[in-house]
């Protein structure tokens, strides 16, 4: 199958309490961290900002975001996790998930989206840079119990479109 | 009839009848009461008031009034009719028919009563009576279509198809040429199709074909027309025409297996047993190749050749069939192919084939000799297939390895967990199986199927209350138990009953089994409405089919399971009766006074609690149970939720016999029916009935171990009976003497010798050995050691063969039965524990034998992952974090 038709096999679906376990299974396979209930309730509360990605009807990846209120009442998006199961990488699933969230930000006039990433995770950093993210801060010893515990804060500022609907 | 009412009251009476028909019951009662004020003894009014009350759930008053009404006016057909209707509403059809007959004696031409009577006769299959009533109705009202049709159907049911055809043709003779009008075309077409199917049934094939052809324009259902036509052509041996027609049908639906079968018949290439000569299968191959070109979207056309091809041809066809389905991800692929596993050669080929695909994908990402790169999911589906393959072949170790690999690859696919659950069940670890099924369930809480699958596994693992809670997740507003009962959820009730039975809770088990029995009688009742409905709607072919289905209803496997379960409960109850309350009192009285007081207090508290709970439940529906129609649905609380009252039967064997009779009537060719009959009748000391059971067993399966067991036990018992004294006893003895000679097994042999012969003949089968050993123990109790040895020696040859890669010879279920035999019948604890150790090795996942890989063993994988999960650490091995794995 050619690359194009593979992309056709990708679809996104919302997170609901009925399929929450899918995200849990993904996280258990992808990340060495056990996420607590707060993580999942934030993800559910973010509504369309959290999505599961399906490849030919199999759940293989997810982006989980949290909506944060800044001082002054504006909202920014924090990407808690973004991951795709190893066998299903490099077919554009991550791109599709991130693009979805970026487009949603633009639609809702959200000006800031950010995340944490390990300083040695070059693939990740390059991936986000492609989408216009930049390193805005370095936090030392952000992670505990993991080698290379430092991380960057990676942020994208989206210029709010002045057009009024 | 009684004194006629004056005009005012006569009008009021009409109002009662009208109110009853329009369900305005309160209005009816009011009118009745105002008549009764002046004429308190007016029979018909009393009757109608009673009938109205019956619809308002006031049964007792209803019967009282209706009977009083009848007493006051014995000569009124209305009173008799009402009495019949009352009985009918309580499903007492026999009494209802009697009442109708009395009513007809007074008013022989009352069409309404005749019609009601005919419905009951159809329901109770009083076919001769049905014909008679239908004839009367037709004579009385010959211009009514319904009466012609009803008369014809009655003759058909009464096995007089030819007469039914005549009646239908006579009816057609009364019609105008341009019949039917547009709004009755479908009904008329159905009637014609029914008539033609009758001709087919009567063997009037030529006539049927002609009639079909003549009436083509009047038959609306074109598909049924073609299917009927082709069926006739095949029966007439007009294969060329049949072939053409089957091809037309296939172009309409190329996935209908019956059309392919029919086509093969027309080509004279069809065999019931599927065994084709090489020449025939070559011909078939050619046929299907050309069909596949025509119907390239059909999956049946590709699947069917796998059944008749062999060797290399099979391999090629299988590979072509399987590859695209693995790419597409079709979870049902294995069950689609599972029938091929009955042929070990095909299973071997499939194994090689899929392993090659697996290796090729793992090394190159492609299928062999393919340029296309496979999707990442293809590997997972291939592993998924392999796991089921090895499960089917009894290689549970490899199966689990494969399924774990698949889960590791893609941990979000629900089917993987369901299959792992099934493998663990087959391997003997029921609680791990239930846990896995629960994991599958959690992955999609909105999927009823995985929920039900999980409930089933939980019941198999005897986790009944957990299973019940899980099942209720999918019932309407979680209204306990009753909903599952109202939904006639029989698989659940059976599995739950069987679990209670295993746990020795006979009351609850019986409760479930009897519930299933009740559903079946409800299904029988449910046909009642169709007797009038189908005649009106002219769905005659399906109507008659439905009636035939109803006639066989109780041979259905769910009913059989329920009846078998109930009989086993009653047998157990008979063997170990409950203590009566008097005995309990007696025991209590022996206790010291302080304890007695405590016990009494405890009892009183428990009673109070139960009462309170029942009251609360009773109140609930009145507040919340207001249904949409505004009516209150007060559901009566089950007075016996645990089935305790069911256990207090006077004679369990009498109850068992009721079910036994149904089994004997509806499942006479099932071995188990007669095993149960043997068990029941031996306990009742009904020697001749037990003999009859043994004879049936021998007829069905002479070599069956249970047949042997019953045969030996029976004649052993006969041999130990005291010499006959009375004439009837002597008669029985004569019968037994004569019959004994008829059994070839016992001819000229002692029972001991017969047992030996049986053993020698079936040495290679564990279950036969076990039966012989058990009988040896019965016949010669002193030879217990020898009996044990017969069983233990069985492992010498078969156990060692069970090396990896070969199909297992011993079955887990059988080994468990043998263990129970050693421990509970032969009372040889040493042998039992030796057996257990061996089986634990052979079935490492079995919780029963406490195998080292089962969930009861502390070092098992199941316990390990459980610990991991409890500690909250994830088991993924990931290198990167926060990350993106794209």
Q: Do A118 and B376 touch (CB under 8 A)?
A: no
Tens-digit pLDDT profile for residues B305-322: 999 999 999 999 999 999
| pLDDT of B392 strictly over 80 | yes
What does the pLDDT average to over B58-81? 93
Q: What percent of chain B clears pLDDT 90, i.e. is strictly above it? A: 74
Report pLDDT digits (tens) over B9-60.
999 999 999 999 999 999 999 999 999 999 999 999 999 999 999 999 899 9
Mutate to test the interface with B, among A17, A56, A120 (most CBs of B within 10 A): A56
Mean pLDDT of chain A: 90
CA dihedral B275, B277, B282, B286 (to 10 degrees): -50
Search chain A and give the residue with CA nearest B406. A87
Sheet with A75-84, edge to edge strand ranges: A10-14, A51-55, A58-69, A75-84, A112-118, A151-157, A134-139
Which residues of A are tagged catalytic? 78, 116
- Of the listed ranges B171-180, B485-494, B876-885, the least confidently predicted one is B876-885
A142 neighbors A149 (Cβ within 8 angstroms) = yes
Q: Are the beta carbons of A89 and B875 separated by less than 8 Å? A: no
Shortest alpha-carbon distance between residue B450 and chain A (Å)? 13
pLDDT above 90 for B580: no
Is residue A80 pLDDT above 60, yes or no?
yes
| Closest by CA position to B379, among listed A58, A106, A46 | A58
Within-domain flag for A117: yes
A162 assigned to some structural domain: no
B807 has pLDDT over 90: no
Interface of A with B in 35-54 (CB under 8 A): none
d(CA B870, nearest CA chain A) in Å? 11
Q: Check residue B638 and give its pLDDT.
A: 76
Identify all chain A residues contacting B370, using CB atoms and an 8 Å cutoff. Answer: none
Contact B412 A32 (CB under 8 A): no
Q: Give a yes or no: residue A106 inside a domain.
A: yes
Taking only the tens place, the pLDDT of each residue in B654-705 is 999 999 999 999 999 999 999 999 999 999 999 999 999 999 999 999 999 9
Domain assignment of residue A163, yes or no: no
Alpha-helical runs (H) found in B461-539: 464-472, 482-486, 490-502, 506-526, 528-537
Confidence of residue B353 (pLDDT cuts 50, 70, 90): very high
Identify the band that residue B584 occupies on the pLDDT scale cut at 50, 70 and 90.
Answer: low
**What CA–CA distance (Å, rounded) separates B669 from B666?**
9
Per CB-CB distance under 8 Å, the chain B contacts of A31 are 874, 876, 878, 881-883
Confidence of residue B860 (pLDDT cuts 50, 70, 90): low
Give the model's pLDDT for residue B809: 64
pLDDT at B741: 84
**A84 in helix, strand or coil?**
strand
Q: How confident is the model at residue B124 (pLDDT cuts 50, 70, 90)?
A: very high
Handedness of CA B538, B540, B542, B548 (dihedral sign): positive
**B514 or B796, which is more confident:** B514
3-state secondary structure of A162: coil
pLDDT digits (tens, 9 = 90+) for B764-787: 889 999 999 999 999 999 998 899
Q: Has residue A65 been placed in a domain? A: yes
User: Looking at residues B475-498, what average pLDDT do you find?
Assistant: 84
Within 8 A of A144 by CB-CB distance, chain B residues are: none
Phi, psi of B269 (to 5 degrees): -125, 45
Q: Which DSSP string do the residues of B307-365 spell out, in sequence order?
A: HH--HHHHHHHHHHHHHHHHHHT-TTHHHHHGGGGGSHHHHHHHHHHHHHHHHHHHHHS
Confidence (pLDDT) at B526: 93
- Is residue A129 one of the residues assigned to a domain? yes
> B278-292, B508-522, B809-823, B849-863 — which is least confidently predicted?
B849-863
Q: Say if residue A2's pLDDT is above 50.
A: no
Question: Would the CB atoms of A127 and B886 count as touching at under 8 Å?
Answer: yes
Q: Which residues lie closer than 8 Å to B681 by C-beta, 6 or more apart?
A: B687, B689, B690, B693
Q: Where are the domains of chain B?
A: 7-177
* Residue B245, min C-alpha distance to chain A (Å): 39
Least trusted range by pLDDT, from A11-25, A126-140, B728-742, B854-868: B854-868
**Which tokens hold the place of B869?**
């999960």
Which of B648, B744, B662 minimizes the C-alpha distance to B699? Answer: B744
Least confident stretch, B387-396, B702-711, B810-819: B810-819
Cα B792 from Cα B37, distance rounded (Å): 87
When pLDDT is averaged across residues B562-566 and rounded to a whole number, the result is: 97
Residues 6+ apart with CB under 8 A from B158: B127, B128, B130, B131
Domain count, chain A: 1
The mean-pLDDT minimum among B214-223, B488-497, B600-609 falls in B600-609
What burial letters (b/e) apply to B532-548, b meaning 16+ CB within 10 Å? bebbeebbbbebbeebe
Whether B858 shows a pLDDT value over 90: the answer reads: no
| For residue B876, pLDDT beyond 70 | no
Range of the domain at A23: 3-157
Interface contact B876-A30, CB threshold 8 A:
yes
Q: What is the average pLDDT score of chain B?
A: 89
Percentage with pLDDT > 70 across chain B: 88
What pLDDT, on the 0 to 100 scale, is given for residue B810? 77
At B882 the pLDDT is 42
Topology given in CATH for the domain delimited by B7-177: 1.25.40
Q: What are phi and psi of A41, to 5 degrees?
A: -70, -35
**At residue B630, does pLDDT exceed 50?**
no
Res B621 pLDDT > 60: no
| Domain of residue A123, CATH code | 3.40.630.30
pLDDT greater than 70 at residue A4: no
Residue B35: how many CA atoms within 13 Å on its side-chain side?
27
Domain membership flag for residue A94 = yes
A119 touches chain B (CB under 8 A): no
What confidence tens digit (pLDDT) does each residue in B139-190 have? Answer: 999 989 999 999 999 999 999 999 999 999 999 999 988 888 888 999 999 9
What residues have CB less than 8 Å from B413, skipping those under 6 apart? A58, A59, B380, B384, B406, B407
Question: Exposed, middle or buried, B305 (CB in 10 Å: 0-12/13-18/19+)?
Answer: buried
């Amino acid at each position: 199958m050619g690359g194009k038709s593979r992309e056709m096999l990708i679809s996104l679906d919302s997170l609901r309490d009925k399929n929450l376990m899918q995200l849990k299974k993904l996280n258990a396979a992808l990340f060495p961290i056990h996420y607590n209930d707060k993580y999942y309730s934030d993800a559910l509360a973010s509504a369309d900002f959290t999505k599961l990605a399906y490849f030919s009807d199999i759940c293989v990846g997810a982006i989980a975001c949290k909506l944060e209120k800044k001082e002054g009442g504006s909202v920014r998006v924090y990407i808690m996790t973004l991951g795709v199961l190893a066998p299903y990488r490099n077919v554009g699933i991550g791109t599709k998930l991130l693009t979805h969230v970026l487009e949603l930000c633009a639609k809702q006039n959200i000006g800031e989206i950010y995340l944490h990433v390990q300083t040695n995770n070059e693939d990740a950093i390059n991936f986000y840079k492609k989408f216009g993210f930049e390193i805005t801060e370095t936090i030392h010893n952000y992670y505990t119990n993991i080698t290379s515990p430092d991380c960057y804060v990676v942020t994208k500022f989206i210029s709010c479109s002045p057009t009024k609907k | 009839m009684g004194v006629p009412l004056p005009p005012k009251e006569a009008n009021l009476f009409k109002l009662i009848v009208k109110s009853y028909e329009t369900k305005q019951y309160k209005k009816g009662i009011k009118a009745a009461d105002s008549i009764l004020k002046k004429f308190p003894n007016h029979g018909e009014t009393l009757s109608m008031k009673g009938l109205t009350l019956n619809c308002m759930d006031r049964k007792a008053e209803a019967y009282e009034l209706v009977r009083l009404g009848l007493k006051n006016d014995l000569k009124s057909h209305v009173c008799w009719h009402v009495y019949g209707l009352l009985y009918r509403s309580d499903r007492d059809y026999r009494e209802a028919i009697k009442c109708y007959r009395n009513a007809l004696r007074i008013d022989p031409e009352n069409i309404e009563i005749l019609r009601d009577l005919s419905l009951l006769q159809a329901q109770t299959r009083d076919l001769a009576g049905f014909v008679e009533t239908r004839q009367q109705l037709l004579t009385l009202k010959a211009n009514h279509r319904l009466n012609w049709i009803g008369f014809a159907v009655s003759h058909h049911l009464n096995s007089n198809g030819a007469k039914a055809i005549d009646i239908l043709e006579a009816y057609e003779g009364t019609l105008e040429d341009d019949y039917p009008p547009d709004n009755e075309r479908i009904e008329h077409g159905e009637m014609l199709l029914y008539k033609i199917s009758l001709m087919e049934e009567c063997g009037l094939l030529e006539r049927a074909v002609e009639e079909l052809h003549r009436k083509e324009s009047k038959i609306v259902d074109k598909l049924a027309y073609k299917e009927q036509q082709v069926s006739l052509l095949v029966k007439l041996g007009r294969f060329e025409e049949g072939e053409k027609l089957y091809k037309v049908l296939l172009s309409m639906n190329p996935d209908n297996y019956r059309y392919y079968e029919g086509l093969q018949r027309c080509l004279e290439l069809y065999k019931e047993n599927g065994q084709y000569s090489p020449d025939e299968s070559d011909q078939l191959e050619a046929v299907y190749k050309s069909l596949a070109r025509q119907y390239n979207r059909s999956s049946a056309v590709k699947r069917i050749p796998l059944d008749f091809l062999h060797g290399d041809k099979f391999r090629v066809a299988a590979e072509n069939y399987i590859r695209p389905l693995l790419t597409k991800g079709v979870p049902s692929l294995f069950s689609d192919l599972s029938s091929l596993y009955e042929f070990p050669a095909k299973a071997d080929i499939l194994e090689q084939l899929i392993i090659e695909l697996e290796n090729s994908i793992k090394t190159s990402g492609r299928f062999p000799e393919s340029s296309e790169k496979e999707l990442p999911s293809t590997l997972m589906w291939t592993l998924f297939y392999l796991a089921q393959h090895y499960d089917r072949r009894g290689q549970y170790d490899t199966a689990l390895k494969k399924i774990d690999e698949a889960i590791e690859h893609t941990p979000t696919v629900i089917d993987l967990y369901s299959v792992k659950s099934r493998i663990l069940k087959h391997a003997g670890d029921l609680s791990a199986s239930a846990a896995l099924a629960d994991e599958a369930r959690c992955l999609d809480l909105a999927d009823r199927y995985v929920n039900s699958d999980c409930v089933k596994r939980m019941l198999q693992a005897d986790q009944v209350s957990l299973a019940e809670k899980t099942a209720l997740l999918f019932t309407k507003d979680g209204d306990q138990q009753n909903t599952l009962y109202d939904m006639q959820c029989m698989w659940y009730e059976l599995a739950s009953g069987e679990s209670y039975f295993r746990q020795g809770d006979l009351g609850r088990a019986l409760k479930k089994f009897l519930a299933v029995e009740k559903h079946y009688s409800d299904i029988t009742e449910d046909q009642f409405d169709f007797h009038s409905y189908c005649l009106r709607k002219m769905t005659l072919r399906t109507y008659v089919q439905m009636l035939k289905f109803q006639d066989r209803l109780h041979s259905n496997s769910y009913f059989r399971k329920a009846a078998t379960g109930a009989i086993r409960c009653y047998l157990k109850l008979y063997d170990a009766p409950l203590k009566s309350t008097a005995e309990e009192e007696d025991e209590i009285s022996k206790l010291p006074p302080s304890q007695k007081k405590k016990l009494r207090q405890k009892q009183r508290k428990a009673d109070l609690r139960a009462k309170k709970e029942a009251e609360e439940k009773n109140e609930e529906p009145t507040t919340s149970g207001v249904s949409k129609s505004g009516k209150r649905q007060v559901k009566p609380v089950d007075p016996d939720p645990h089935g305790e009252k069911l256990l207090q039967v006077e004679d369990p064997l009498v109850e068992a016999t009721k079910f036994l009779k149904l089994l004997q009537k509806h499942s006479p060719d099932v071995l188990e029916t007669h095993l149960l009959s043997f068990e029941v009748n031996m306990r009742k000391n009904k020697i001749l009935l037990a003999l009859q059971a043994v004879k049936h067993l021998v007829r069905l399966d002479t070599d069956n171990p249970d047949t042997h067991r019953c045969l030996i036990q029976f004649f052993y018992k006969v041999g130990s009976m005291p010499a006959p004294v009375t004439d009837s006893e002597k008669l029985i003895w004569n019968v037994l003497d004569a019959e004994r000679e008829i059994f070839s097994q016992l001819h000229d042999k002692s029972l001991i010798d017969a047992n030996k012969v049986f053993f020698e003949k079936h040495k290679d089968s564990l279950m036969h050995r076990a039966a012989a050993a058990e009988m040896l123990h019965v016949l010669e109790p002193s030879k217990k050691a020898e009996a044990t040895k017969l069983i233990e020696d069985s492992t010498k040859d078969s156990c060692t063969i069970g090396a990896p890669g070969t199909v297992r010879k011993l079955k887990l279920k059988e080994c468990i039965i043998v263990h129970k035999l050693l421990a509970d019948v032969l009372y040889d604890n040493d042998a039992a524990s030796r057996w257990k150790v061996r089986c634990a090795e052979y079935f490492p996942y079995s919780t029963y034998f406490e195998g080292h890989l089962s969930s009861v063993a502390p070092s098992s994988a199941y316990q390990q992952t459980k610990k991991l999960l409890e500690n909250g650490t994830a088991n993924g091995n990931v290198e990167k974090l926060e990350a993106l794995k794209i």
